[in-house]
Structure 1
Amino acid sequence: MSAQRLCLIVDDEPAAHYVLANYIGQNPKLKLVHQCFNGFEAAEYLRENPVDLMFLDIDMPEMTGLELLKQLDNPPKTILTTAYSEFALESYDFGVIDYLLKPIYHPRFEKAIARLFDMYPKNDPVSDNRSHISVKVDSHFVDIAFDDFLYAQSYGNYVKIFTPQKTWLATITTNELEHNLPSDRFLRVHKSYIVSLGNIESRDRETVTIRGEKIPVGITYRRELSERLR
């Protein structure tokens, strides 16, 4: 993926396009590639043209933003825009990054973009100095410092992230979490577990121990674990 994130605006209001296009143009990490004025145009465009980030209005005639998300098999990362905060709360059911309440102010826009880049791996060329990961918990995002991250466990459609202070139940898949953690500090040791290598206290053939908790090590992960702990 290129250093610049390719952006799509989907909104039925020309004024919203003007504001978002202006803000996108001010951020060197973003590039506006297309603008759509309804959900049907957006669905057609996305079938042939993948983008990294979609700014999507919720309240549009004929097809709402949420209806568009429902019909997309693999929607891009999305920041929802709306004039009505009650709709924004519902949007979290669709795994969006953030929502912007209209009128959209530039500092709030930049905060949402920072949240986007928090989700990329450390080896990403535009985001290689992260000290934490941002994950969605309930209806808001929580920043978890890498230094506090002990291990993670799959839990249905969620992931439990264990820290010394508490356990977070995050709306993210184990695969997504793995790809968004720095590979020099974290390792998948089982289909259901990711561990912080620096917090491993001991290990045997089938487990590692972190804070007294024994974590299983899958057969296919043992060789890489051994190599990483040499």
Structure 2
Amino acid sequence: MKVLIVEDEKPASENLIEELQAIDDNIDVVAGCYSVDETVRWLNRNPQPDLILMDIQLSDGLSFNIFKACEVTCPVIFTTAYDKYLTQAFEYSSIDYLLKPISQDKLKNAIRKYKTLRNHFVGSQDHANGYNGNGNGLHAMGDSAYYSGHADRIRSRILVRKGVEFQAVRVEDTGYFFTEHKLIFLVDKDNRKYMAEKSNLSELEEELDKNVFYRANRKYIINANYIKRFKPLERSKISVELTLPVNEEIIISQENAASFKKWIAQS
């Protein structure tokens, strides 16, 4: 397993290397970067590692800037002394958030989580050997599409976060998705709400079965199996009612009304 460490304090970086090697001698720390700029250069010049351990506050700014400057297709474990970045961190491929000082047990649990998620979603040894940005392998856990090739692109499970824990929810058990405050949420058949590990609805929409899920508007993706009824509104709009409670009315625009009726008749 190839790991990149992004940490601007040399003692902390060296400590992480020692702890990782003590946890698993198959872990290969391929590089250590100390700044945003250095990390961006490294990622642009080298294959993506399997995992990144990344401090948030670096010498030249927040590490979130790395994701804006280059593509990161592998999962990230953030390491920081501050808890104020927790929500923001999970918008950037994060599978865990470790507060300093980091104990070996916490680091071990984070590595175990990475391996569990990898093994859970990857069905072949070729996938398990690494990640890439070409759609052929396991992408970043927070911005991922667990598929190999276009034919297998449709998801069967969605990775979600509740508190500090992660779990996989079956797509068929999802009543609807919605976005709020730039985060994506999933509501399951029992009306339980989770934060989905996805950056936007458009990317998520591409990974769902279009015979089952429909992009109702900019805020909602709905499951045909959870539609209770729908009715026409003025100007040819459509109001959709789900079997699950929703805090607001779901409106299909006039432009999409015809496609919605065609979709619901075929789903």
The answer to whether the aligner puts 1:210 opposite 2:242 as a matched pair is yes
Which whole-Å deviations, capped at 9, do the CAs of 1:141-196 have from their partners, x for residues lacking one? 45434343111233232344333433526375323443454555423222211011
* Contiguous gaps of at least 5 residues in structure 2: 122-140, 233-237
* Unaligned ranges ≥5, structure 1: 27-31
Give the share of equivalent positions with the same residue, in percent: 16
CA contact (8 A) 1:133 1:181 kept: no
Cα distance 1:7–1:166, how it changes in 2: closer, same or farther (>3 A)?
same
When normalised by structure 2's length, the TM-score is: 0.56
Matches within 5 A, 1:49-60: 51=48, 54-58=51-55
Q: Distance in 1 between matches of 2:240 and 2:38?
A: 51
Q: Distance in 2 between matches of 1:195 and 1:10?
A: 39
The residue correspondences of 1:1-230 to structure 2 (distance < 5 A) are 8-11=4-7, 12=10, 13-14=13-14, 16-17=16-17, 34-39=30-35, 40-47=37-44, 51=48, 54-58=51-55, 63=59, 67-70=62-65, 72-74=67-69, 76=72, 78-80=75-77, 82=79, 87=82, 90-95=85-90, 96-99=94-97, 101-103=102-104, 104-105=107-108, 108-115=110-117, 117=121, 120-121=144-145, 123-124=147-148, 132-137=157-162, 139-141=164-166, 143-168=168-193, 170=195, 172-179=199-206, 181-183=208-210, 185-203=212-230, 206-211=238-243, 215-218=250-253, 219-220=255-256, 222-223=258-259, 226-227=262-263, 229-230=265-266
Maintained 8 Å contact 2:6/2:52? yes
Contact 2:176 2:222 in 1 (8 A): yes
Distance 1:35 1:225 in 2: 54
Q: 1:92–1:139: 8 Å Cα contact kept in structure 2? A: no
The root-mean-square deviation of aligned C-alpha atoms, in Å, is 4.5
Which whole-Å CA distance do the structure 1 matches of 2:55 and 2:33 have between them? Answer: 12
Q: Count matched residues.
A: 215
